[in-house]
Structure 1
Amino acid sequence: MTKPAPVYVLGGAQTDFARNWSKEGKHFVAAMREATLGALEATRIEPREVETAHVGNFAAELYARQGHIGSFFLEIDPAFSGLPTSRHEAACASGSIALIAASADIEAARYDLACVVGVEQMKTVNSTVGGDILGTAAWYEREAKGIEFPFPKLFGRLGDEYDKRYGLKDEHLAHISAVNYSNAKRNPNAQTRNWFMSESHAQHESKFNQLIGGRIKVSDCSQVTDGSVALFLASEKFAGAWAKRNGKTLADIPRILGWGHHTAPLEFDTKVAESRDNTYVLPHTRQAILDAFKRAGIASVAEISGIETHDCFTTSEYMAIDHFGITRPGESWKAIEEGVIELGGKLPINPSGGLIGAGHPVGATGVRQMLDCYRQITDSAGDYQVEGAKKFAMLNLGGSATTSCAFIVGK
């Protein structure tokens, strides 16, 4: 792999994921505006300096009856009029695809400063309609049409496949849930920061923790979330000048050290059949991670300080543990029992609370993960800071792990 021009992460901002923008009577552009203006303020960047914008969004056409989402960036500030913008969609990995596209712009020297915005307004519809909309991230006609809450069932089947191949205990999934809820209490923007969840509660089915599909209970699920996140990616030229005017050096600024992007067959059954003779249940996800490692010049996950991973359900985090190489395939439970994944553990996962704790505004999740990686590397994550973080990884999935995007961020 050739060594591309470096892409620096200058910082950004996010909205409070506990908010319901529909109840506030606000359009999703208001969330985009708040996140972007917050990012401008946090980074001390002037609107006139922004040269292009990439917007990650999954389904505004369905949630808000609105397409052409990239154009809404121009509504944020008059200085953005005429700016080249684009919208990127890959289900729950839409934000990461926007990041990859913006990075490519920087690497190709087309632009020196790109704003990446992720946004989703999901609370415009009830849970039944929302579940059906999310089903379009799968093969709708074959996997979701007429099925109530199809995605919990699909990711429940991921757990079933682990159980079939290696064995899986629901108590380990409950522990993942409890850790993410606990971490979220430290995050001032987390959706569930004031919610109750204990490991005992997560282990047992009850009227407050009902089964939704297969082995998946409410406590195993990520949240339905409204929110937006914005951050800035820059070339070495812009980052150097920006660092100088802010009393920093280029070495102080995190950059994207490596990335990986793979697409698997859309149907979950096809994925499982394809991986039948592979020790990894989702080999394309594994390869995306390995590509990110290789591009970053690191040998293994042992060189990583922590991970922000796509826990749309506890089963997807269980998968991420062995796919990152923290354990051998099928042995994710060891890292859970040994406390490896906890804040303060050997390799914390989702110190932010992840999708289960922090929230999951679908198109914004990848951008939020990148922002949290930046916060960890710059020692600005507050109460959920991983001490001494040098390199942070993230994994963002679209569909039933159809799209897999991995990044390594560090200085």
Structure 2
Amino acid sequence: MANDFTDEDDALLAELGIEVEQKKQSARTPREERIIAGFEDIQKFIVEHGRLPRPDGSDIFERIYAVRLERLRNLPEATALLADLDHGHILTGAAPADDTAEMDDDALLAALGVEVEASPLTDLKHVRSTADRKAAEDVANRRPCDDFDAFKPLFEKVQRDLETGQRETRPFKLKAEIQKGRFFVVEGQKAYVAEMGEPILTDQGKTDARLRVIFDNGTESNMLLRSLQRALNKDETGRRITEPVAGPLFADAPEEGDGTTGTIYVLRSKSDHPMIAANRELVHKIGVTTLSVEKRIAGAHLQPTFLMAPVEVVATYDLYNINQTRLENLIHRIFGPAQLDIQIPDRFGRPVTPREWFLVPLFVIDAAVERVRDGSITRYRYDPERAELVEEGVE
């Protein structure tokens, strides 16, 4: 029997202590529900990774979330709908106009080169044109690379070179940049031109060539040179990866025309923490600063990054004309296996885990500096058991 009660009937039943089940009303449209669900996915990613999703991320879902976030920032109705849910204020940043604003997730996946199973319903809303499909197939038509083991070390070396600043990514501009042995970034993946055939003429009288292109996900494609060119030009994040830069990263003294850009500093803590006190000669903070070291360590006893204690400077090295952030990241990666695992309370009693302290002897840090000078540091890792730098691939 239907509950066709009036407001007066409901009030009377309430007075008698009887709860009346209210018919649930749909407060939001299906579109609004999808917007909220998509935004919650982005928030979950940020909580898990501690950063915003990037459009050049290696994971397909991260790339989807990055595009979705830009779309939401440009959608007035989304800004209003998500205002109470946007606790981290991630929608307030200015964003450029985005031609993906009307795409759903299947269309985003297709734009990112991922095939999606067709819907059982006849829906032509997001069918791409023949030209669009052909452009996507130029890159997406790939097969497993049977001898990828031979190319994997090359991709790993390129990644190390990018991290240390020996290589850079730059916007792709000219067809002439596509040569055998060069690396590119297309559709968010590194691509290596392993082979280039003899030049051929197209029906339009233009030169072309058949390529064997290896991708860092273990696939390959025998695409035409102009197909790779089109893919790089169409992809706003398409890049070429430069050749490695020769020469030392820094030296003891500047050459003519050089300018100091920072200082590597090595510190010891005067903390009375039992673990620090027991290993004081081994526990070192390794950092890079563009300030004077004296200014950097001022007030160390009030900063969790300095273990809330005074410190002493045990070594410094001046840097000249290099990217100090990349160098700091490199050094921290080399000594990552010996990172100090310690948690201390800050001045408000909240637990903090400093990340720039390592259980490493000073002489090993000096050795690492020498490897940076001769450009060979990317071939080494720190072995905590042997307390020395070990060349990778050499026992």
TM more than 0.5: no
* TM-score (normalised: structure 1): 0.22
**Max Rg structure:** 2
* TM-score (normalised: structure 2): 0.22
